[in-house]
Amino acid sequence: MNFSALSPLAFALGLAGLALGLFLAQRLRVRHRRVTVVTTVFWKAAVEETRARVFVRRFRHPWAYALLLAIAGLLWLAVAAPESSGRGRALHVLVIDGSARMARGVVTSAGSAASGSAFEAALEAARERAAELPRARRSVLLAGAHLETLLAPGEELPLFDARARRLKPAACPATLEAAVARLADGPRPEEGLQLECFSIAEPDAALLAACAGPGFEVATRLLACDARENAGVVALGASPAQSGAWDTVDVLVATRSRAAPEITLDGAPLESSEARAVAGGFELVLRDLPARGGRLEARLAGGDALGLDDAAALTLPARPKLRVALSPNVPPALRAVIERDPGVVAAEGLADVVVRYAGESFGANTPALELVDEESGAPAFALRTPAEAADAAGDERANVALARWHDELGLGEIDATALAGTAGRPIELALQPADERGVALWASLCGERYDLARSRAFPLFIARALRWLANVPAFEGTLAAGEPRLAPEPRWTDAQGRTLDAAGGEARLPRAGAYTDEARREHAAALLDASTTGPVAAPPPARAPERLARFDPLPWIVLAALVLLLVEWRLVRRERIP
């Protein structure tokens, strides 16, 4: 016997506290009503006979106290929720697959369709299993977009019902394996951990083999589901246009279907000139779509086994041309590189970025690419930032930021050794605090003395530097549920207003749907999971899990308390006890 709600020490202390409290209450309970009588001779004689049987002078009713203590003790025992130990003391964790594939319909053992989804069947099966297990040694988790706890150890089943009432499968790839791996890596109780997965597919055998070990067992309850052929969109992504036009993108749509999908951009149907059938589906390429943030949707005819993968949406990137203002003194080599950049347009007035010599007032208060005198002692390359990097200059975070920007700006492509040999001194990259973003480099690097202006790295560095200065967001060509974003910053929020977790430097999109960035622009993420869309293996005959012999004493304890309450009520009514 053990207690699922209280420790044995807490139970014992509580019982002792109850006994003491009742004892004091029993003593305080004697609130004598003052009655004046002709004589007390007979009362004294009547009371005198009972006095020898009490253990304190005013504590007159030991049996009433014992009865009350028994009732309170039983109720306290019920609060402590005792359980018989039964066989096996391992913690049973029931993991319900809550991913998109569980939205498939459920079928009976005979193979005929039944009402409800596999997810609902999994919830029901898990509930039945949880009812068989000792309360203190069971928990139910949902492996959907996140790993959620539906029933913690010790909690009652009605809580599970309440939490599971409105649950639906999340539009995300299967996370069952990740949940198993996480549980395998997490702390395990001494008595061991027994996982029971409720899904329509076996977790990866290799993973299970890797996780298995002493005190960790995994079993799967496979549910029979609708295994009809299923169609779905398995890929949807944009990339910079092959034509080289900066403000257009090419889009790829791949489906696993018998028919080509219907594609719309902001509601207007699109036709693809490059559609081809591949094994089990179609691939379509749409060229030179305007990169203005439009919503592109690919939709298949429904009515198949799984509806969540029948449509996918993508918010095309917005790629306006950069307005760059060039100082008249800009070296010709640099000017030529900028003017040949297809994503840049020369600006006379309002500009996103200016290019000038250090000390010029041209385009003040605008992010600038500045040319500095090599002889001034300035580093060869300097990145100026106004925000956290400036505050953190010199510390570890600054070094991390500098390394990231080094790669982002293509500085790694530059042959710094050759430059250092020519300069006769080290080529430095520095991080400098400033009010506006800025990039500084020696003016001489754009001249004839160095080979940089003639190298392939120079236009790449200049193009990226201009975009870094204009703070152009990274090109995220595809947004698939369950996959990390290409650029975790800036942070996005989901439809419920929750900020995506960027722990570890990656922000995973938990499910398909709409997300909002810090500029209030909406982005659409799609399911795009071939394994979810793909065929499902017919489950083997279900093996009944081991049933634990369990006796729940709780109803009997409550019943005993009620009986004692009835006895007390009767004794009070009959004036046997006060």
Partner 1 sequence: MNARLTAAELCDERFLASLEALRIVARRVAPRGRFAEQRSRQLGGGIEFRDFRPYASGDDLRAVDWNIYRRLGRVFVRLFEEQQDLPLYLVPDVSQSAWFETPPRALAGLRAALALAAISLGQHDRVGVFACAEDLRVLQRPMAGKGRVLHLARLLAEVEPGGKTDLVRSLASLQALGLREGLVCVISDFFDPAGIEAVLGALRGLRHRLLLVQLVRASDRDPRLTGDVRVVDCEDGASADVSITPAVLERYRAAYAHFESALTEYARGRQSGLVQLDVERDVVAQLAGLFEDGTLVA
Summarize as ranges the residues that interact with partner 1 (CB under 8 A): 29-47, 49-50, 58, 60-61, 574-578
* Dihedral angle, C-alpha 227, 231, 237, 238, nearest 10 °: 180
**498 to 312, 488, 493, 515, 517: CA distances (angstroms):** 22, 15, 5, 10, 11
In angstroms, the CA 65 to CA 27 distance is 10
Q: In the bound complex, what is the minimum distance in angstroms from residue 19's beta carbon to partner 1?
A: 21
Cβ-based nearer residue to partner 1, 39 or 417 = 39
Beta partners for 2?
83
The two structure tokens encoding residue 551: 């006796």
Cβ-based nearer residue to partner 1, 58 or 258 = 58
The two structure tokens encoding residue 563: 């009986």
Q: In the bound complex, what is the minimum distance in angstroms from residue 39's beta carbon to partner 1?
A: 4
Cβ-based nearer residue to partner 1, 425 or 576 = 576
Cβ-based nearer residue to partner 1, 87 or 574 = 574
Residue partners of 183: CB distance under 8 A and separation at least 6: 93, 95, 193, 195
Q: In the bound complex, what is the minimum distance in angstroms from residue 546's beta carbon to partner 1?
A: 57
- Cβ distance 158 to 55 under 8 Å? no
Cβ-based nearer residue to partner 1, 474 or 577 = 577
Q: In the bound complex, what is the minimum distance in angstroms from residue 562's beta carbon to partner 1?
A: 25
Quick one: residue 315, left, alpha or beta (phi over 0 = left, psi -120 to 50 = alpha)? beta
Beta partners for 249?
240, 289
- Nearest in space to 562 (alpha carbons), one of 105, 117, 70: 70
- Over its C-alpha atoms, the chain yields an Rg (Å, rounded) of 37
Cβ-based nearer residue to partner 1, 62 or 421 = 62
In angstroms, the CA 501 to CA 305 distance is 32
Q: In the bound complex, what is the minimum distance in angstroms from residue 28's beta carbon to partner 1?
A: 11
Cβ-based nearer residue to partner 1, 32 or 520 = 32
Q: In the bound complex, what is the minimum distance in angstroms from residue 47's beta carbon to partner 1?
A: 6
- Cβ distance 342 to 244 under 8 Å? yes
Cβ-based nearer residue to partner 1, 416 or 577 = 577
Q: In the bound complex, what is the minimum distance in angstroms from residue 59's beta carbon to partner 1?
A: 11
One DSSP character per residue, 95-123 reads EEE-SGGGGSEEE-TTS-EEEEEHHHHHH
Q: In the bound complex, what is the minimum distance in angstroms from residue 64's beta carbon to partner 1?
A: 10
Cβ-based nearer residue to partner 1, 12 or 572 = 572
Q: In the bound complex, what is the minimum distance in angstroms from residue 58's beta carbon to partner 1?
A: 7
Per the listing, tokens 């960027």 go with: 502
